[in-house]
Amino acid sequence: MAHALAEAGSHIVISSRKLENCEAAAHEIEKIGVKALAVGCDVTKADQVEAMKDAVLKKFGRVDVLVNNAGRAWVAPPEDMPLDRWQQVLDLNITAPFLCAQALGREMIKAKRGKIINIASIAGLVGRNPQAYNSIAYGTSKGALVNFTRDLAVKWAQHNIQVNAICPGFFVTSINEKMFEKNAEQILREIPLHRTGGGDDLKGIAVLLASDASNFMTGAVIPVDGGSTAW
């Protein structure tokens, strides 16, 4: 998504807990011909989010688009889900988007324009087969993010801020690749296109929701899932 927005002409801020990863990503993005800033930030910590916002404003003077993409899961049957893991998942998947939207949204309100893109999941739209997906904390948090998107869209429409959500289906990442290897047959059986998401499959929707082409879209929840929620 960051590469897609850079290719469309946006300057980019990459932020996560691991600064070295952000710096590597920023270096690659700069090769596209835009400016990029790497900021280390634990987005579950309000003070670090404020510091990240200050770094963005110091570098670029404004913020136009926020993509809330940080997330985590913990796999366990509901009856065995540890309370501390439940809380960690909710802290990152729903409290962090609130903190980032609040801090950066204040700047968007001043500017009377802005775009917020929340990365939810189809796990927040439907119950999932426990043989392939068994993280009730993840599904719960992403369901909360879906309705957070809708309610914030209504609340901030008066400020000309559009708030939308992308709900990806199964994309293989370093976090879930072992689970995919173990359950590939079951996972692919539930996807009509019979493949997982690829590196380019979120680019178009990210650029659409970040651009003026989506100025009349707010509160939308858009699956990008190979047809998984169309069964």
Catalytic residue among 138, 148, 156, 170: 138
Burial of 112 (0-12, 13-18, 19+ CB in 10 A): exposed
One-letter amino acid of 91 = D
Tell me if 12 sits within 8 A of 6, measured CB to CB: yes
Write the CB contacts of 98 (distance below 8 Å, at least 6 apart in sequence): 148
CA distance linking residue 103 with residue 96, whole number of Å: 11
Q: Which two tokens stand for residue 44?
A: 């579950």
Give the Cα-Cα-Cα angle 146, 95, 79 (nearest 5 degrees).
Answer: 80
Give the Cα-Cα-Cα angle 59, 64, 65 (nearest 5 degrees).
Answer: 110
Active site annotation includes 138: yes
Buried b (16+ CB within 10 A) or exposed e, 184-201: eeebbebbeeeebbeeeb
By annotation, the residues acting in catalysis are: 138
